[in-house]
Structure 1
Amino acid sequence: MGPTWTTGNQLRLLENGEEYFPRVLAAIAGAQQSVLLETFILFDDEVGQPLRDALIAAARRGVSVALTVDGFGSADLSPAFLSGLVEAGVVVRLFSPRRRLVGMRTNLFRRLHRKLVAVDASVAFVGGINVSVQHLIDSGPLAKQDYAVEVRGPAAREIHAFLLDAIHANSPGPKAPPQRPARRMREAGALAGPGAALLVTRDNDRHRRDIERQYLLAIRGAERELIIANAYFLPGYRLLQAICDAARRGVDVQLIVQGNPDMMWVKRTVDMLYAHLREAGVRIFEYCERPLHGKVAVVDDDWATVGSSNLDPLSLFLNLEANLIIRDTAFAATLKQNLRTRMESSCQEVPATPDGARPRWQGLATALVFHALRRFPAWAGWLPAHTPKLLTPTLDAPPSGWQSGVATPPREQDCP
């Protein structure tokens, strides 16, 4: 049975790496039994190194530690970085590693895009923040604007259980933490707050549309206000229709997208939808202070989500993703105020398209390109050798053997 709605959770919004990384490191430093962590990007930099040191220290004091990183997003980790973890007893796994071709990474699709941390089944973190200096605002103008949520209480146990299942599925190798939280961990929820929370994940098996379904339920039920902040916005037909329908029935729909994108194609694809959205009454704000990397939304006064899933073809149809759905008025108010502040201080609103200003050919071109991009996940699924694998580095086979061509490769396992 998968994660379910829980109540009695304490929920804390974390903005950017300055708030997120210290909280994660403090939780790991206080771990007594287990640390489970999944991330798309882990870099060997001034953020990745302290995390590595914290995981090694936890493992050496007897805590069960498991780390899974994506083979595309974290392709450049060195043998020394990984072997130090393995030597300390950390269970390290690389999701779908692939040898480079002419120096290029070839494992483009079906990525492990989740960013999840669970410590002792009592505190967990869900969001879009990778382990990289690029998520520290002080690092410069290209630093990413992003969010995560810290949760304490029953939802943290659900996140722990999910990560534990992901570790043990199809894995004949070393088992990391105990099978389920200890009794004293279960009782930790008694001290938590009133918030209701649900972990929703997307995979390529039984949960292909779970995140999209939660968005649809919330948008279709919106009565007054809908704010979506999304880095890579190219939703499917049903989501796009639901957003436009909400605006047409009088909901104040506000969309925050990248105005200063880290990849220019992102803005070009969203530009194609501007006229259609504005005609329906959607207000569009371009965030211009730095690249927007957030994947958050608020509906009315008590529904919110924070997670790793963009509203684009990769996240909705190919990648492994995780969002926390939250029903809590205090948390929703905090996130809403943050997004309103961003709109007022760091965004430019896109003006409405005057009647008749858009040439007919432009509307036709937009429709054709949009439909082609929406079919992209199906085309990607036809590509050969896309089944994800999990590689477990061992000390007798260098962790980077999949990159450097070591004759005896580490063990590979099918990904759940």
Structure 2
Amino acid sequence: MGLFDTLDDRLGDQLEGVLCAHHDRRLTKLGWGEVLGDGATGWFSPRVPVRHGNRIRLLLDGSEALPVIAKAIEGARSHVHIASWHASPDFKLSREPGEPTFSELLTTVADRVPVRLLLWAGPPVPMFEPTRKRVLGNQKAFTENSAVQCVLDSRERSMHCHHEKIVVIDDEVAFVGGIDFTALEGDRHDSHEHPAERPIGWHDHSSKIEGPAVADVAEHFRSRWTEVAGQKLPKPVVPAPVGTSSIQVTRTVPERNYDFAPRGEFSILDAYMRALRSSEHLVYLENQFLWSPEITEILIDKLKNPPNDDYRVVLVLPRKPSNGSDTTRGQLGRLIDADGGNGRLVASTIETHDGENTTQVYVHAKLGIVDDRWLTVGSANLNEHSLFNDTEVNVVTDDPVVARDTRLRLWSEHLQRPVGEIDGSPAEVVDRVWRAAMEGEGRLTELPGVSRRAGRLQGPLRGLLVDG
């Protein structure tokens, strides 16, 4: 190890300690200190309601999710409420011939029922997309000659954004996930096959929720809309039970952004921390980023002190995060060190082939599964932005049928094998099938460039610079 690498490594450790201490002080001051401080376990955060009697279905990849969302919007009988990081008027939710644009779809529905669209206003200075100029132009396109109401929210923390992606139809069905209604920075229309002739693939998810938990998603939209638009909406009625799943709607809401949460909410962080601490056999994470030292410290401890011989941590991450930095690599290198060659950790990315072309598949997903009995999906990445500073919405369920079914569907997609061939012990499948797939000609490949010294300094330094 060279002198520069040694300094980078040591400074990274020191800055990470400063960053974690800052988060601890901040959350303690806000009344959320136990999230980081007491080693709490369990499958739900005690800070927000758990709703019983729901039905939840994971919609994997854009080609599965977007048409379902479009059909639900088309069938609205009372109202359509959408909150998103960004949305493009010319985006289409289906590749079928003759499909309307997003703007046309919303305009048609708005002739019958109120359609409210809440978007991030963009950064105050045009440092990154979507710029405020672009967002203002899109707002005009959504509302011109249309009854659609489109309101822009600029109440973000400095250097952060409104990142959630939710749709609520009639307060009876909700969609919560990571898919934006735009082709900006990537084409959301990808399928389980991830065809290789495309410039880049796109792996992402949403969830369809029915039952009492819909009221919590609807209430979140109502709270933001009321403050930003100045328009009071009726409090949502809690739907009747329709299924057997318990669901918790978790959020990141930074303090001092809204009157409805003056001290903020950090239940996404709380839920992740509790579930990872509770893990006994398997942690499966698909995420765009793995920067958060709070998250990786738990995984490091688990890898060093595995609760069972069959304990495995399986990560699916993009080859390179969207800003091109190597902060994920620094944290991943620490996890590799903690594993110590014991084979409990697998870190993969996705690419697809067709004989002539090889295309990278960008992992934009934000999904976690623990022990086939806990699942979360939503808009939150595993970084300081999503867990502390952006507005985010996730859903959590402890339904083992949903968790296991979703994992098997995803592993079937990635391993290109029928579910019947991979439905055995997760550890055995990881050791026998997953590792072999990374060495072959399939979709999975080992995440390249992993080293504890690769950009070790960048993650905590970025966190300190943008997290006040």
CA distance in structure 1 between the aligned counterparts of 2:449 and 2:151, rounded to whole angstroms:
48
Q: Which residue of 2 is the match for residue 287 of structure 1?
A: 350
CA distance in structure 2 between the aligned counterparts of 1:286 and 1:220, rounded to whole angstroms:
25
1:93-120 alpha-carbon deviations (Å, 9 max, x no partner): 112299xxxxxxxx97220100001111
Q: SS where residue 180 of structure 1 aligns?
A: coil
Q: Which residue of 1 is the match for residue 181 of structure 2?
A: 131
Distance of aligned partners of 1:44 and 1:135 in 2 relative to their CA distance in 1, 3 Å threshold? same
Q: Match of 2:444, as an amino acid?
A: C
Q: Which residue of 2 is the match for residue 229 of structure 1?
A: 286
CA distance in structure 2 between the aligned counterparts of 1:370 and 1:81, rounded to whole angstroms:
34
CA distance in structure 2 between the aligned counterparts of 1:342 and 1:349, rounded to whole angstroms:
17
Q: CA deviation at 1:148?
A: 0.7
Report the identity percentage: 23
1:359-407 alpha-carbon deviations (Å, 9 max, x no partner): xxx75x85544432332333xx4xxxxxxxxxxxxxxxxxxxxxxxxxx
CA distance in structure 1 between the aligned counterparts of 2:330 and 2:142, rounded to whole angstroms:
47
Determine whether 1:189 maps to 2:240: yes
Q: Match of 1:200, as an amino acid?
A: T
Determine whether 1:166 maps to 2:224: yes
Q: Which residue of 2 is the match for residue 254 of structure 1?
A: 314
Report matched runs for 1:145-156 at 5 Å. Answer: 145-156=203-214
Q: Which runs of 5+ in 2 are unaligned?
A: 1-46, 94-99, 123-128, 192-196, 256-262, 340-344, 353-360, 416-441
Q: Match of 1:246, as an amino acid?
A: K
Q: Match of 1:16, as an amino acid?
A: D
CA distance in structure 2 between the aligned counterparts of 1:351 and 1:292, rounded to whole angstroms:
15
Determine whether 1:245 maps to 2:296: no
Q: Which residue of 1 is the match for residue 6 of structure 2?
A: none
Q: Which residue of 2 is the match for residue 337 of structure 1?
A: 408
Residue 327 of structure 1, aligned match among 390, 395, 398:
398
Q: Match of 2:147, as an amino acid?
A: G
CA distance in structure 2 between the aligned counterparts of 1:291 and 1:331, rounded to whole angstroms:
25
State the Cα RMSD in Å: 2.9
Q: SS where residue 117 of structure 2 aligns?
A: strand
CA distance in structure 1 between the aligned counterparts of 2:411 and 2:391, rounded to whole angstroms:
30
CA distance in structure 1 between the aligned counterparts of 2:155 and 2:264, rounded to whole angstroms:
23
Point out the more displaced range, 128-137 or 254-263.
254-263
Distance of aligned partners of 1:263 and 1:41 in 2 relative to their CA distance in 1, 3 Å threshold? same
Q: Which residue of 2 is the match for residue 349 of structure 1?
A: 446
Q: Which residue of 2 is the match for residue 10 of structure 1?
A: 55
Q: CA deviation at 1:316?
A: 2.0
Task: Give the TM-score taking structure 1 as reference length.
Answer: 0.76
Aligned residues: 351
Q: Which residue of 1 is the match for residue 102 of structure 2?
A: 51
Q: Which runs of 5+ in 1 are unaligned?
A: 99-106, 382-416
Residue 22 of structure 1, aligned match among 44, 67, 77:
67
Q: Match of 1:189, as an amino acid?
A: A
Distance of aligned partners of 1:288 and 1:84 in 2 relative to their CA distance in 1, 3 Å threshold? closer
Point out the more displaced range, 369-378 or 288-297.
369-378
Q: SS where residue 63 of structure 2 aligns?
A: helix
CA distance in structure 2 between the aligned counterparts of 1:348 and 1:367, rounded to whole angstroms:
23
Q: Match of 1:199, as an amino acid?
A: V
Distance of aligned partners of 1:46 and 1:366 in 2 relative to their CA distance in 1, 3 Å threshold? closer
CA distance in structure 2 between the aligned counterparts of 1:374 and 1:46, rounded to whole angstroms:
33
Distance of aligned partners of 1:348 and 1:108 in 2 relative to their CA distance in 1, 3 Å threshold? farther
Report matched runs for 1:14-413 at 5 Å. Answer: 14-47=59-92, 50-61=101-112, 63-72=113-122, 74-75=130-131, 76-77=134-135, 79=137, 82=140, 84-85=142-143, 87-96=145-154, 109-133=159-183, 134-137=187-190, 140-169=198-227, 171-172=229-230, 174-175=231-232, 177-181=233-237, 186=238, 188-190=239-241, 192-205=242-255, 206-236=263-293, 238-248=294-304, 249=306, 250=308, 251-259=311-319, 261-265=321-325, 268-281=326-339, 282-289=345-352, 290-344=361-415, 345-350=442-447, 363=453, 367-378=456-467, 381=468
1:235-274 alpha-carbon deviations (Å, 9 max, x no partner): 13x2111011222314311111112654432xx2222233
Maintained 8 Å contact 2:279/2:371: yes
Maintained 8 Å contact 2:369/2:376: yes
Maintained 8 Å contact 2:347/2:446: yes
CA distance in structure 2 between the aligned counterparts of 1:376 and 1:335, rounded to whole angstroms:
37
CA distance in structure 2 between the aligned counterparts of 1:330 and 1:29, rounded to whole angstroms:
30
Maintained 8 Å contact 1:287/1:342: no
Maintained 8 Å contact 2:158/2:466: no
Q: CA deviation at 1:35?
A: 1.1
Q: Match of 1:288, as an amino acid?
A: E
Task: Give the TM-score taking structure 2 as reference length.
Answer: 0.68
Point out the more displaced range, 333-342 or 64-73.
333-342
1:5-59 alpha-carbon deviations (Å, 9 max, x no partner): 1111111111222112211111111111121100112123342763222222222
Distance of aligned partners of 1:109 and 1:371 in 2 relative to their CA distance in 1, 3 Å threshold? closer
Distance of aligned partners of 1:70 and 1:275 in 2 relative to their CA distance in 1, 3 Å threshold? same
